Structure 1
Amino acid sequence: MKQRKVPMRKDIVTGEMAPKKQLVRVVRNQAQEVSIDPTGKQSGRGAYISLDVAIAQKAKKERTFDHAFGVKIDDQFYDDLIAYVDHQQARRELFDND
């Protein structure tokens, strides 16, 4: 059976390439609203971050998404992002049997 190509994306914080499934997409829509995109299919400008709490905390400290999207983002978004990444990381450890 032919192996499928694994889509790769760049982590905006570390600059490392990783498989798309190991990253979470953050999107800015036309109304300049920034949100987490769990489906990876929302329309708008997207940026990816690894499913790692330390990297999410570094993004908050450096205000990475403020610079990437050119908009002012409040701290609540970064706190929600850290909580989401922590939850997804825990799910991956529980359910990933690979």
Structure 2
Amino acid sequence: MKKRKIPMRKDIVSGEMAPKKELVRIVRDADGTVSIDETGKKSGRGAYISIDVDRANQAKREHVFEKAFSVKIDDSFYDDLIAYIDHKQARKELFENGQ
């Protein structure tokens, strides 16, 4: 059987390449609104961050997405991002250990 290619993306905080499924996509749409792209299919400029709460906190401290998207982002977005990543990380650990 032919081995499938795994799509890789770069984590905007660490600069490391990782499989797309292990990252969360953040997107800026045409209006300049920045949001979490849960499906990975929203149109707009995208950037990826790994499913790691420490990296999300680092992104908040360094205002990484403001620099990447050239738009002012409210701290509440970063708080929502940290909560979302914390939830995803907990689910990932739960299902990896459960198998």
Identity %: 69
- Structure 2 gap ranges (5+): none
- Structure 1 gap ranges (5+): none
Q: Does structure 1 residue 7 correspond to structure 2 residue 11? A: no
TM-score for the superposition, normalised by structure 2:
0.96
Query: Superposition RMSD on alpha carbons, in Å?
Result: 1.0
Alignment match, 1:32: 32
Alignment match, 2:65: 65
Question: What SS class does the counterpart of residue 79 from structure 1 fall into?
Answer: helix
> Distance in 1 between the 2:20 and 2:94 partners?
19
Alignment match, 2:16: 16
> Distance in 2 between the 1:34 and 1:49 partners?
14
> Distance in 2 between the 1:93 and 1:51 partners?
11
Alignment match, 1:83: 83
TM-score for the superposition, normalised by structure 1:
0.97
Q: CA deviation at 1:89?
A: 0.3
